[in-house]
Structure 1
Amino acid sequence: MTIRVYGLQTEQRAEPLGIDHPRPRLSWKLDSDRRGAAQTAYRITAALQPADRPLWDTGRRESSEGLLVSWDGPVLQSATRYHWRVEIWDETGTPAGSAASWFETGLLHRTDWTAVWVGRDLLALPPVDPPGAHDVAGGELFQPPLHLRRTFDLDRRPVRARLYATARGVYEPWLNGVRIGDHELAPGWTEYHRRLQYQTYDVTGLVDDGPNVLGAVVADGWWSGYIGFDPRRAAQHYGDCPAYLAQLVLDFADGSRRVIATDAGWTEQPGAVLSADLLMGQVVDARRGTGTGGFAPVAILDAEPGPLVAQPDEPVRVTAELPAVTVELRAPGQYVVDFGQNLVGRVRLTLRSAPRGHLVSIRHAETLAGGELYVANLRRAAAADRYIAAGEPQEVFEPQFTIHGFRYIEIDGHPGELAAADVVARVLHSDTAWTGRFECSDPVTNQLYANIGWGQRGNFVAVPTDCPQRDERLGWLADAQIFAPTASRNADVAAFFARWMRDVVDGQDTGGAFRDVAPVITMHREAAPAWGDAGVIIPWHLWRTYGDRQALADSFDAMTAWIAHVRRHNPDLRWRHRTGNHYGDWLQIDATTPREVLATAYFARSTAIVAAAADVLGRQRAAAEHRALHTAIRDAFITSYVRADGTVEGETQTAYLLALAFGLLPDELIPVAVKHLAADIERRGNRLTTGFVGVPLLCPVLAQHGRADLAYALLHQDEFPSWGYSIRHGATTIWERWDGWTEHGGFQADAMNSFNHYSLGSVGEWLFGRVAGIDQTPGSVAYRELLLRPLPGGRLTWARAEQDTARGLVACGWAVTGDRITVTATVPPGCTALLEVPTAEPASVREHDEPARARPGVLGAEPSATGLTVRLTSGRYTFTASHTPDHTPVQEMS
């Protein structure tokens, strides 16, 4: 079989429409059934049309690389589509495969923009007090969204038409009565004063000869709507009203061009959407359709476009629909609907024969309390949508400028019998391609993995939020850095995190301190330990996982400034000063890890990462300085917090985990510290105490140090506190806190009790990396050198995972049947792997009943503490070995 070239990307996106990178990076992946298959050379050609003579031709380049290859062809032109093709040669020098893709540039220069910002002329169209808005959320800051339109005539149809649009707020564009594109909540949320994203839409098929109507509805969104939880600044963080900027570029067959841009020729008229807010909900009066109100001129708010950038990652989209599982009539016109899954999005409701002017309301909740919607944890977020019927035989209500976290809804005022088919949950999130899959023989573990995935979907909405339901929904840095390894197992989050890191860097203050959240709104304080460290950890993760050197370089100065900030205020290298709102091991349970132990451990870890990053970027002086600083911090940690008996100050699980995971113990004390950690877990009946900071380290550290039995015991625990406890009580997402609800205490404090956070789901990294076994060697980048270490244990009889990495599909799994274990592995072309086959007798490892060493693709094998380590080239493999049911190889290490 030849090598299949697939997964072509430009700037980490498939066929992006409207990029503004001057030298875009091109990538491709490889797949082959042939063992030892590898790329040894490539050739890239690019042209304006696939059949045209190339305007860029690399010629044959001897290289095995297919990841983020920079464009070094001619200067790119604005608003131009480029078709590119890659051909590869295999390990024998034979042409082996090819594939084609395209990308299109956006508006690359300030002079390309002729549009001006338009908004409401308050003198021409006074604000409307929308019916019901006050009832929804106090209403004093509500104003109707902009309903904008511009008419124009054409004597012929264009051969190409593009709409370039953005908003201060969130917008939905329309052309000739048809909604444009599938973006939701565009333009997303960034540090608006530094960067405002615009989107590009292909509207060639929507433009008519003759009269045309270009329109948009623009709501408050993050710009001027409610966000966060500061009662002193509940809304209007960036401005007090929405605005719109757009231009429609029409190209004709004769080479002429016409631009329809936002200007004084646009008008506004009252529309059906009376109010819309991300947290509070949306009110629609269907009686007020197009043409039911007079036109008013718009106001020109700003002639300068501002800091516009093309959106570099996938937008928020509707990615799934969930039907109602149960529909229960509670009272006349009142129904409670259960969708069976805690999710993030909105509801599409079909009404039949609703009287004109009839009001229907929808409230949302994650769970029930005493059979009623539990909404106390929403705090000030009303999460309620309202619809006033037009009186048609059938009407469909689906809000477009709000988003809710919910499993249950209550419909009030429904005019008749509600059929299950008439109510559908629509799932929204940033549309990162799902690239990972894990499954095993244990249904509870599978449910845990499903909960992790739903938590990621629900909280990756423009930014990595903390929660999707209450009056918060902020991009908390610690949550993101803790979960990033798991997130990148599940989905391709390279462009998503690289874009968000610009917000993290933009939020850094002049002294080098990152902030707790990004984008920054009202929380101006310096970041806490583990929170601010995300500014160091995530860029490094993007390098290791996706090979994104640019993301690392773009963040490097900010990374070093953060370390300098901490060092400047803590000259004794114990991080005790300038710790922001120190959260410690946030939401730890039945334990208190000393804050300065946690802070100093993170100081050491981030410093080590900066040193490694400096090596990658060729910054030798910075690398040497930070290596020396790391050594000094480590010495200070050991001197201050580690005793001769191997105990770590605080003697909590998280204290030991930090010291072990971050290499902050003398070698001779490591086994003793592991025993202290294990003893604490066992003393508690195999229960954890870790909060946000400790939990991602828990199972990996135990497995690494010979206590996989304890790691599995924690995974399978279903008594409080544990992942299994929440699942046993119906959780379909990861809870914010272990005690969000308990049999003995009911609901925790309403002020902070989300049932959809992803932080405690960071165990997902371990499910992929050790349970199924997909990892990479310490020196590997983007899974070039795989480390496949399946780890049988617990009550599992089999487990497997696959991950479509930046280089291609990696898979690993195992199954135990009787006294035999079968291990399967897939290694992409051009990659190598060290596969650790866990076996009772290393010599028993065979592939298809032949000695493993004799098979093609197997480079060698040698005994290890866990069985046999086999060195592999690319290909698909199946190994069998002897395995006794009571044999857990890693236990032999202790």
Structure 2
Amino acid sequence: MTHLKAASLTTEYRTNPLGIDCKKPRLSWKIISDERGTLQQSYQIQVSEHPTFDTLLWNTGIIHSQESLHLPYEGPDLKERTRYFYRVKVWDNKSRESAWSETAWWETALFAEYDWKAQWITPDEEVIDRLSEPAFCLRKEFQLQNDIASARIYGTGLGLYELYVNGERVGDELFAPGWTSYHKRLQYQTYDITSQLQAGPNAFGIMLADGWYKGNMTWENKRHIYGDRRAAFFELHVRYNDGTEDIIVTDPSWKAALGPVVYSEIYQGEKYDARLEEGFSLPDFDDSSWSLVQEQQMPVGQLIAQENWPTKVTEVIKPIAVFTTPSGETVIDMGQNMVGRIRFFVKADKGTKIILKHAEVLDKDGNIYFGNLRKADQQVEYIAKGIGLENYAPHFSFQGFRYVRVEGYPNQENGLSLEHFVGEVIHTDMEPTGEFECSNPLVNKLQENIKWGQRGNFLDVPTDCPQRDERLGWTGDAQVFIQTALFNYHGGPFFTKWLRDLKAEQHPDGGVPFVIPAVVGGANAAAWGDAATIIPWEIYKAYGDKRLLAEQYDSMKAWVEYMRRQGENEYLWIVGFNFGDWLALDAPSGSYSGATPKDFIATAFYAHSTRILRDAAKVLGKWEDAKSYGLLLENIIEAFNHEFVSKSGRLVSPTQTAHVLALIFDLVDGDVKKRTAHELNELIINNNYHLTTGFVGTPYLCFALSKAGHHETAVKLLLQEGYPSWLYSVKKGATTIWEHWDGIKEDGSFWSDDMNSFNHYAYGAIGDWMYRKVAGLDMDEELPAYKRIRIQPAFAGIHLTYAKAAFESMYGRIQSAWSITADKIELKVEIPANTTAEIVLPFAQTANVSEGGNPLAQANGIYTYKEKDDTVTLTVGSGSYHFQYDNKNGLMVEFTKNSRLIDVLAHQSSAAILDKHAPWIAKPPGIFAMRTKTLQELAEFPEANLTKNQVDALIEELNTIEWKAELVK
């Protein structure tokens, strides 16, 4: 019996979303099939207000199309506050018809501001100072009838809020309503509280804290950035079985008081006095001493339904140790640099004060280190109420930490019990989508660190760091990491929200602020402002989201036109402020910017964004723009070569970053391109396989090397363990990505106090190269969202014996997993239904390759295959494949330190001579093989320009050595 069905139905990326305000939501699904080569041929969608589909609101009929992503609802106008059920049926290219999918749904919220009945309320400021530090508590008691059918709360707050009904917390979302450009866009949330209500008396409670809205923000100690008073805006709709409704809204009938959260700030932490807990959201609570509230007009922008995934506790981890530092402090080690909060449990006398202070690392003496927090206290203080077992975690503050100093815990001097403490990991609750592993355990740890860094810094906005007095949505950090981010986690809703804020904050002249939301001064830096073009384009490539691309197109165009207007030459950007190659190691003394000229970088990114804009115009059918910006790109490249390339073909800047950008952005061609690639490789080799790049060059460095035929050099960079390198921090015990290559120096001292985050994801952008080049999981960008997949592993010789990447795409799971032994090469591939793939098998011959134990000619699901230059290229349909072929090239042999000299020779001027006399030494890009023996003579040989006699002697010596086929462990 064959199996075919539509599954994993989503609306606007989400499964069964509650409370959306999109009037034409887009529907997507995946296809599950037990046969290879499955393609959707037709689909049918039905939408109804009833789960039984007795009556249909919209029925597409049978639509002949392969489309299964982002199909917009085209039925009658949707009603507000209504649940819509839908199901999908598909037909495939094998004449099979599926059953109906499982029923999915979406539920609308409110579509327009005039639909709201609530009023903004805040405590009467004659009784409660609007600048009071304690959180506001607001409450309302109300009566309900029997036979409650459903109940929904819609609403928002300024700044952060928590909701309570009848003594229970509503939902598990944190830091609502999230951080947007509040003056222009304010999210509201929807909650289903049907099960929390009862016939008779009920009570509704709201707690309000400053948060991002009016709290202490940025290193400049700004307060009240958006407003100077907190306020709430909520309405509860209760629907009865007979169709009638009760509506409870925020209005002047509510009451207010100050609550037990006596202080709470994003950076500084929180102080909580449990003695002030009163059960204010219980219906029988005595609020006679509470004051009234007042209606308040708030300076906020458009109300929009929740766009991003909510922020939640996504994991709970246990501490691994508690110890006393040399300075005598009691410190808990969580074993992981995390973002979130500590929850602790305690029995204590009334008034006992417990203080937790959080930090990322220990200093070289073993003491907890707070220096890099700058003005951020990251301190939590709890005052016990003295009744039974109490438990507490901060409500409106999060910390970035691995270590926690504990003061005041009862009997602390006799040792803390770790059972009383847990770490609650907090971030935007994105769906994990990517996996990577390989034969090098340090690289696997690096991958873990990349993902932890993303989790810690994707807390409603893509922040630069989660611990010091910053935590801002830096545009440059976000754009360099975007491809890695979208592999590891589903970023559709996350970046949809953030890009809309970017567009809202963009200046009238097209300039882009340094941070989004824009809470610090400054705008318009190359590689930072380019987030306006790069991120929408990467979202389109990853998910096929043409609607978002169209929505952001004017913003993209405005940024390119801003760059075009800079200076007298419209084809160069050589004026104004730019960050340059931030934190590059070749920076002059006293500077954070690397040695690569800033105008070189600015013009390179000007070209890059112009190319993206041209390609976006093509996708959107804006043909005049496509032609215009294609011509602009040609002129920029011509001007770039005139300005930054000598007549002999040498780049004016001898830095690694300059060569990387020229190559990766296709700014040079022909002999200049060959020379630039050669010189980049030399820059790495001559620096003993170490990088010098900063934020701008690092994300593209290994891509540029691999693309230019120097994949082996790129792999050696990845595997470099000495400073500076990705694995240096791993060897130093890092569990997240560092801001600086030498955040902790070899002697244990620190780079600096002023800017030294140990959770800063930018350099984690290497992940994208690991997934796409090392593991070989990539896409054909002509068909976005992995509609056509490209699997092309780049073997790393004796450096890596296997690598595996898997990605849960919009179509389904994709996998590329290869392994090499002394005599066999294997590649295991998964291709989801309704896609096809091109698979490239390096160092293979058609006659040698089997799939599932069968010759290629007999393998099901393989459409074509061809052989060229010891490479077999196949096109295949969906399914799981297992390819095997002989390792006839000797790709795996034992490696000794002396073998490295032979490797170097194969890449210097003597490579051609060696290749002629011993072709097994110099392999195609990305592969090298060695015979092994301790050759004392090698130590005396120069690494290049060998004389003929030296080469002949070397070859004669090597030819006497027998092959060794031991797999490196």
TM range (shorter): over 0.9
> 1:288: which partner in 2?
276
Q: Residue 81 in 1 paired to residue 83 in 2?
A: yes
Q: Residue 253 in 1 paired to residue 277 in 2?
A: no
> 1:205: which partner in 2?
195
> 2:556: which partner in 1?
559
Structure 1 residues 142 and 402: alpha-carbon distance in aligned structure 2, compared to 1, 3 A threshold: farther
Q: Residue 377 in 1 paired to residue 388 in 2?
A: no
> 1:675: which partner in 2?
678
Q: Distance in 1 between matches of 2:567 and 2:812?
A: 44
Q: Residue 723 in 1 paired to residue 726 in 2?
A: yes
Q: In structure 2, the residue corresponding to 1:700 is in which secondary structure?
A: helix
Q: Distance in 2 between matches of 1:33 and 1:400?
A: 48
> 1:342: which partner in 2?
337
Count of paired positions: 876
User: Which residue type is aligned with residue 925 of structure 2?
Assistant: V
Kindly state the Cα deviation for residue 7 of structure 1 after the two structures are TM-superposed. 2.1
Kindly state the Cα deviation for residue 870 of structure 1 after the two structures are TM-superposed. 1.1
Q: Residue 587 in 1 paired to residue 583 in 2?
A: yes
Contact 1:853–1:859 at 8 Å: present in 2 too?
no
Q: Distance in 2 between matches of 1:762 and 1:720?
A: 18
> 2:258: which partner in 1?
270
Q: Distance in 2 between matches of 1:109 and 1:686?
A: 59
Contact 1:275–1:282 at 8 Å: present in 2 too?
yes
Kindly state the Cα deviation for residue 481 of structure 1 after the two structures are TM-superposed. 0.8
Q: Residue 359 in 1 paired to residue 359 in 2?
A: no
User: Which residue type is aligned with residue 110 of structure 2?
Assistant: L
Contact 1:165–1:246 at 8 Å: present in 2 too?
yes
Matches within 5 A, 1:39-438: 39-51=40-52, 52-97=54-99, 98-126=101-129, 143-231=133-221, 234-290=222-278, 294-302=289-297, 306-329=301-324, 335-352=330-347, 354-369=348-363, 370-416=365-411, 417-438=415-436
Contact 1:607–1:630 at 8 Å: present in 2 too?
yes
Q: Distance in 2 between matches of 1:843 and 1:88?
A: 38
Q: Distance in 2 between matches of 1:507 and 1:578?
A: 23
Structure 1 residues 382 and 670: alpha-carbon distance in aligned structure 2, compared to 1, 3 A threshold: same
Q: Distance in 2 between matches of 1:328 and 1:304?
A: 49
Q: In structure 2, the residue corresponding to 1:213 is in which secondary structure?
A: strand
Q: Residue 599 in 1 paired to residue 605 in 2?
A: no
Q: Which moved more, 1:481-490 or 1:84-93?
A: 84-93
Kindly state the Cα deviation for residue 153 of structure 1 after the two structures are TM-superposed. 1.3
Residue of 726, 744, 754 corresponding to 1:741: 744
Q: Distance in 1 between matches of 2:437 and 2:684?
A: 26
Kindly state the Cα deviation for residue 213 of structure 1 after the two structures are TM-superposed. 0.8
Q: Residue 455 in 1 paired to residue 453 in 2?
A: yes
TM-score (ref. length: structure 2): 0.88
Q: In structure 2, the residue corresponding to 1:824 is in which secondary structure?
A: strand
Structure 2: give runs of 5+ residues left out of the alignment.
279-284, 588-594, 893-919, 929-969
Q: Distance in 2 between matches of 1:334 and 1:661?
A: 50
Q: Distance in 1 between matches of 2:603 and 2:327?
A: 60
User: Which residue type is aligned with residue 166 of structure 2?
Assistant: N
Residue of 564, 569, 594 corresponding to 1:572: 569
Q: Residue 549 in 1 paired to residue 546 in 2?
A: yes
Where in structure 1 do 4 or more consecutive aligned residues deviate above 3 Å? 303-306, 329-334, 573-580, 840-843, 886-889
Matches within 5 A, 1:470-485: 470-485=468-483
Q: Distance in 1 between matches of 2:831 and 2:852?
A: 18
Identity in percent? 39
Matches within 5 A, 1:531-550: 531-550=528-547
Structure 1 residues 349 and 414: alpha-carbon distance in aligned structure 2, compared to 1, 3 A threshold: same
Q: Distance in 2 between matches of 1:419 and 1:360?
A: 15
Q: Deviations over 1:75-133 (max 9, x none)?
A: 00000000110111111232135232110000112232111111122212347xxxxxx
Kindly state the Cα deviation for residue 305 of structure 1 after the two structures are TM-superposed. 7.8
Q: Deviations over 1:701-731 (max 9, x none)?
A: 2112211111110111010000111000000
> 2:7: which partner in 1?
6
The alignment yields a C-alpha RMSD, in angstroms, of 1.9
Contact 2:852–2:881 at 8 Å: present in 1 too?
no
Structure 1 residues 31 and 763: alpha-carbon distance in aligned structure 2, compared to 1, 3 A threshold: farther
Structure 1 residues 866 and 200: alpha-carbon distance in aligned structure 2, compared to 1, 3 A threshold: farther
Kindly state the Cα deviation for residue 142 of structure 1 after the two structures are TM-superposed. 6.0
> 1:131: which partner in 2?
none
Contact 1:68–1:548 at 8 Å: present in 2 too?
yes
Q: Which moved more, 1:662-671 or 1:530-539?
A: 662-671
> 1:659: which partner in 2?
662
In our comparison, the structure showing a higher alpha carbon Rg is 2
Q: Deviations over 1:400-427 (max 9, x none)?
A: 1001100010111011242111100000
Q: Which moved more, 1:643-652 or 1:525-534?
A: 643-652
Residue of 769, 773, 785 corresponding to 1:782: 785
Q: Distance in 2 between matches of 1:853 and 1:220?
A: 67
Q: Residue 705 in 1 paired to residue 708 in 2?
A: yes
Q: Distance in 1 between matches of 2:866 and 2:230?
A: 66
> 2:615: which partner in 1?
612
Structure 1 residues 747 and 142: alpha-carbon distance in aligned structure 2, compared to 1, 3 A threshold: farther
User: Which residue type is aligned with residue 225 of structure 1?
Assistant: G
Residue of 863, 870, 875 corresponding to 2:867: 863
Q: Deviations over 1:521-570 (max 9, x none)?
A: 132x2220000011011111111110111111111111111111111123
Q: Residue 518 in 1 paired to residue 521 in 2?
A: no
Q: Distance in 1 between matches of 2:145 and 2:55?
A: 33
> 1:685: which partner in 2?
688
Structure 1 residues 865 and 637: alpha-carbon distance in aligned structure 2, compared to 1, 3 A threshold: farther
Q: In structure 1, the residue corresponding to 2:275 is in which secondary structure?
A: coil
TM-score (ref. length: structure 1): 0.95
Q: In structure 2, the residue corresponding to 1:748 is in which secondary structure?
A: coil
Residue of 899, 917, 925 corresponding to 1:890: 925
Contact 1:29–1:806 at 8 Å: present in 2 too?
yes
Q: Which moved more, 1:643-652 or 1:706-715?
A: 643-652
Kindly state the Cα deviation for residue 304 of structure 1 after the two structures are TM-superposed. 9.1
Q: Distance in 1 between matches of 2:688 and 2:737?
A: 22
Q: Distance in 2 between matches of 1:684 and 1:590?
A: 12
Kindly state the Cα deviation for residue 844 of structure 1 after the two structures are TM-superposed. 1.8
> 1:133: which partner in 2?
none
Kindly state the Cα deviation for residue 645 of structure 1 after the two structures are TM-superposed. 4.2
Q: In structure 2, the residue corresponding to 1:414 is in which secondary structure?
A: coil
Q: Deviations over 1:228-284 (max 9, x none)?
A: 2224xx221101121111000011111111110000011112321111111111110
Contact 1:117–1:304 at 8 Å: present in 2 too?
no
Kindly state the Cα deviation for residue 381 of structure 1 after the two structures are TM-superposed. 0.7
User: Which residue type is aligned with residue 818 of structure 1?
Assistant: A
Contact 1:526–1:578 at 8 Å: present in 2 too?
no
Q: Residue 796 in 1 paired to residue 800 in 2?
A: yes
Kindly state the Cα deviation for residue 469 of structure 1 after the two structures are TM-superposed. 0.4
Q: Deviations over 1:134-182 (max 9, x none)?
A: xxxxxxx761111111001123242110001211101110000010001
User: Which residue type is aligned with residue 890 of structure 1?
Assistant: P
Kindly state the Cα deviation for residue 864 of structure 1 after the two structures are TM-superposed. 3.9
